[in-house]
Amino acid sequence: MVRLIGLGVVLPVVLCAGVLMAAWRPWRRDAQLAGGLWAGAAALALASLPAFLAVDPWPGLPPHVTWHWIAWLVPVAAVAGVADALVRWPTAVRLLGAVTLAAVCGRLLVGDWVDHAWSWRAVMASAIAATAISVNAAADRRPGAAVPLSMCVAALGASIVLLGSGSAKLAQLAGALSACLGVVVAINWWRPTVSLSRGGAAVIAVWLPGLVLSGYFASWSEIPPWVYVLAAIAPVFAWPAALIRLEGLRVWQAATIRVAVAALPVAVTVAVAVLALIRSETDSAYPY
């Protein structure tokens, strides 16, 4: 338990906070969005290292367990995100990069042993690409705490779904991501000019959908497949929430409404997962 909390949550949060504070310097009044777009990717990727080591000491390369590829793909996504933040590629190149990364993730994270493997690879790739593109667009449009808070809620909801599915290790990793995103929320609330766009979106896109769908492949629970798919694409809803025009409201009021809209699919997935878990426990307690 000490290892899971200390190495799996506390250390990732400290590392994430350290990188973000050093790059964004939110205490400065002139902290600018362009000054640290790369920091979101670097902070989350660095935080992922102890988080993954806490649940499995060494994933191996190639890993023996399919979902262990996430530990390698998150740094790859971070490198791509940092390059995007520093170079400012044209939109077409960025979209092509997101789709390519998603396709690679779909191929590696869905084993041949999965039923209808190629269909699930398409689902995995689509979820990762849609998340990367949507979160980036939402963070670009609405800097500040609303988008990272939506991601934090989505990761927390995914952790609950994964816990209900019996995937305790994956639930731990989703919880670690949620904790790190909580740090991002706090800094973004302090200095709303910084953002998770560009790099940070790519890391979230690999980490969260990859965990959720991997949890479905390894689960024997009664949670329906569509719940995992909806939990995997829950971050996508930050984009339509960012499009909502809320004039005449305070910043915190507008942010609350946008987060509430983005959290609707999370509420659905958590509710269905909890009900499925209660139903399965009831059935096992009263066999017929």
d(CA 265, CA 154): 9
Per-residue model confidence (pLDDT) at position 31? 54
Per-residue model confidence (pLDDT) at position 282? 65
Per-residue model confidence (pLDDT) at position 284? 55
Question: Along the 288 residues of the chain, how does pLDDT read in single tens digits?
Answer: 666 787 778 999 999 999 988 887 777 765 554 446 788 889 999 999 999 998 887 777 888 899 999 999 999 999 988 888 788 778 888 889 889 999 999 999 999 889 999 999 999 999 999 999 999 999 888 888 899 999 999 999 999 999 988 888 999 999 999 999 999 999 888 877 777 777 789 999 999 999 999 999 988 888 899 999 999 999 999 999 999 888 878 888 888 999 999 999 999 999 998 888 787 766 554 444
Per-residue model confidence (pLDDT) at position 233? 96
Per-residue model confidence (pLDDT) at position 3? 67
Domain ranges in the chain are: 2-285
Cβ contacts of 39 within 8 Å, gap of 6 or more: 19, 20, 22, 23, 24, 194, 199, 200
d(CA 33, CA 197): 9
CB 98 within 8 A of CB 129: yes
Per-residue model confidence (pLDDT) at position 64? 87
Q: Can you give 138-204 as a three-state secondary structure string?
A: HHHHCCCCHHHHHHHHHHHHHHHHHHHCCCHHHHHHHHHHHHHHHHHHHHHHHCCCCCCCCHHHHHH
pTM for this one?
A: 0.90
